[in-house]
Amino acid sequence: MPRLLALVWPELRVPEADPRPFERMLDALDDLSPRVEAVDRGVALVEITGLEPMWGPEPRIAARAAMLTRGAAPLHVRCGIGENRWLATLAARLARPSRPDAPAALRVLERAELRDLPLGLLPADPAVRQRFALFGLTRMEQLADLSRSAVGAQFGPAGERLQALARGHDPRPVVPRRRPERVEAGATFETPLDGIGAVSLTLRRLAAELCDRLRERHRAPGRAVLELRLEDAPSLRVEQPFPQPALEPDWIARLLLSRLEAAARARSAGPEVADEPRVASVRLAFDRLSDPAASQLPAFEVRAGRWEELRWSLERMRHRFGEGRLWRAAVDRPTAALPEHRSRLVDIGP
């Protein structure tokens, strides 16, 4: 019998929440099970069937999942375990922490327990709820015990689906997400390097190493993430999306270095940081991998290829001169009387 673990982070469910930690949480859950589904923002489903021999009983697996995701972001989580996705997510919805400040709450919901729950927990629209009330149906068991044909006659196919849920049946399978591919390389310095500029050679070497690895597989990165661990200062982390999938270690290293210098300048403007941080280690990661041959436009138009090449220089200029310098023009109303109404400038973007 399959067993599913649903995890819900209420703080990520609000519209204004920052969605970025969720991706990192999913990455962390990949270490627990190979089948992880991102149901919605702030809701994840993990198939835990057969994991007991490795991780222990189900509550311990849930605790492990909560611990792994707290490493990505320290948010409160509600965990639910059931034999299908409906029971697991409903269990997570009903889970209540043992004390108000507890970081995680767990509820295990079996099919038999479903019968005593109110019918209002079903994902029905208000009109159907109203009709349930008109028929005097208030609990799951009342709907579950009706014959399927009678429910179909009164409420249609949607009613039949709700009845199946009330009986604890949910045939929808877990659809595991594809784990984003990522390659990494790093270097640790026994004697820390003086200043951020000193990492340029190492950075070039790491970029070349990763490019070589990816070239053999006909893949190219769309983004680089560089992390510097500093002595006596917080780590520096910069992300650089590329104008196009690229396997050019020189360009990548130069772009990253200029972004790194900009980040270091911004930090040194603050009051609390020493002016020359010493670098203890460097870690470079490439992700958003794709097939570089998929972008074929430059092969057909020389100018388009040169424009793509130029975007690398433009990206460096943006770091050097700041935002608001490089634009493309678009004409909206060519016959407008005032020049400022005829056209607008559009940021060239990364």
Partner 1 sequence: MSTDAAVSPSLANALETLHARGLGLRRGSDPEPLAGDRPAVPSGHPALDAALRGGGWPRGALALLDAPAGGGATSLALATLAAAQEAGGLTVWLDLDGTLDPAVAARLGVELDWLLVVRPRDAAEAIELTAWFGRSGLIDALVLDLGSHAAPDRRALDRLASLLARSGSTAALVLAPGARPVAGAAAGVRVALHRSAWLAVGRDLVGQRVRAVVERHRWALAGGSAELDLWFGEGRRIDALSPALADPRPVEVARPGLRVVSA
Rule CB under 8 A: which residues touch partner 1? 302-303, 306-307, 309-310, 313-314, 317, 320-321, 324-331, 334, 336, 339, 342-343, 345, 348
Shortest Å, Cβ 301 to partner 1 = 9
Shortest Å, Cβ 323 to partner 1 = 11
Distances (CA, A) of 37 to 6, 87, 176, 179: 10, 16, 5, 10
Shortest Å, Cβ 325 to partner 1 = 6
Residue with smaller CB distance to partner 1, 212 or 347: 347
CB 320 within 8 A of CB 314: no
Residue with smaller CB distance to partner 1, 19 or 339: 339
Residue with smaller CB distance to partner 1, 164 or 262: 262
CB 248 within 8 A of CB 316: no
Distance CA 221, CA 213 (A): 11
Residue with smaller CB distance to partner 1, 218 or 344: 344
Residues constituting the chain: 350
Name the burial class of residue 275, with classes exposed (0-12), middle (13-18) and buried (19+) by CB atoms within 10 angstroms of its CB: exposed
Residue with smaller CB distance to partner 1, 299 or 336: 336
CB 87 within 8 A of CB 114: yes
Ordered alpha helix ranges (H), 40-138: 52-55, 58-72, 85-94, 126-134
Shortest Å, Cβ 315 to partner 1 = 12
Shortest Å, Cβ 333 to partner 1 = 8
Other C-beta atoms within 10 Å of 211: how many? 19
